Amino acid sequence: MQALLIESPLTFIAAAFILALLVGSFLNVVIHRLPLMMEREWRMQCAELAAEPAKELPEGRFDVMAPRSRCPQCGHQITALENIPIVSYLMLSGKCSGCSAKISARYPAVELLTAILTGVVAWHFGFGWEAAAGIGLTWMLVAISVIDIDHQLIPDSMSLPLLWAGLSLSLFHPLDGAQALFIEPQTAIAGALAGYLSLWSVYQLFRIITGKEGMGYGDFKLLAALGAILGWKLLPVIIMMSAIVGAVIGIMLIVTKQHERNVPIPFGPYLAAAGWIAMLWGSDIVNWYLNFMG
């Protein structure tokens, strides 16, 4: 099987695409439940400090594995046949089989996006450890982006493992055939420090000038993780791309009155998208810019 995946890039891409569809379905569970799990923990801590019983909390075990998924409207338990990525959504016509309540199209969208991005990473790196690391990073960035869009929150339980993974991967440098990942430890450590301190400095300066908080600490940690994985040299590319795209989209949303001026716009998805692009083509972008500038 391994020989087939190595000799046939299309087979490897197809296998990665199908696997990512299944992972995308699991990411939907993580995206929905992880913020609830965090809120549950916070409320329990607050209740413990206040010596009051916690209210409106899910009872029993509640994590990304249990209980089984149910329809939020009627409580119908989702069966295995109703949980096939994309296919089940199409077969059910986007409705619950129990009460016919509409199922959000975002569920198959997350599954399809995860599969497409995974296929691109598999195509770019080919079969090997670097593709495995890049695919893992892709899955984490998808989940982080959607959670940040929903809750303006980047969980430490996702960004910090990425940071430690980046530092750990650097211990395996040099790796034969590695193009972007598995950088040397010095570059990874410098990337983590520069990633965190760059946004932290902007945050502090903005707070001093305006008296307001321009971004959250989760953004600092996410950029630190990207710096640890990709190295400090690609941080300017990530920061510039995320800032430009974030500013353009933010202005468009405000102009079209789809977003209130006083409501913060999550920056995590732009960092994640820029980091994913830099993972694949960051060095090419830097070389093009240097050649363009002469």
Say if pTM beats, i.e. exceeds, 0.75: yes
Length of the chain: 294
8-state DSSP, 264: P
Residue 180 pLDDT more than 70? Answer: no
Lowest mean pLDDT among 1-10, 135-144, 200-209, 216-225: 1-10
Which residues have a Cβ under 8 Å from the Cβ of 268 and sit 6 or more positions away?
144, 145, 148, 154, 218, 219, 222
12: Cα separation from own chain's centroid: 23
Residues forming a β-bridge with 70? 77
Q: What per-residue confidence (pLDDT) applies to 82?
A: 75
Q: What per-residue confidence (pLDDT) applies to 60?
A: 65
Give the pair of three-digit tokens for residue 194. 């520069």
Buried-state track 266-291, b at ≥16 Cβ within 10 A, e below 16? bbbbbbbbbbbbbbbebbebeeeeee
Instruction: Let me know if 7 is exposed, middle or buried by CB neighbors in 10 A (0-12, 13-18, 19+).
Output: exposed
Residue 219 pLDDT more than 90? Answer: yes
Residue 163 pLDDT more than 70? Answer: yes
Lowest mean pLDDT among 117-131, 225-239, 260-274: 260-274
Q: What per-residue confidence (pLDDT) applies to 3?
A: 76
Give the pair of three-digit tokens for residue 206. 């903005």
Helices 185-210 and 217-230 sit at what angle, rounded to 10 degrees? 160
Distance CA 225, CA 140 (A): 11
Concatenating the DSSP letter of every residue in 69-132 gives -B-TTT-PBPPSGGGSTTHHHHHTTTB-TTT-PBPPTHHHHHHHHHHHHHHHHHHHH-SSHHHH
Tell me the average pLDDT of the chain. 86
For residue 259, what pLDDT band results from cuts at 50, 70 and 90? low
Give the pair of three-digit tokens for residue 163. 């940071």
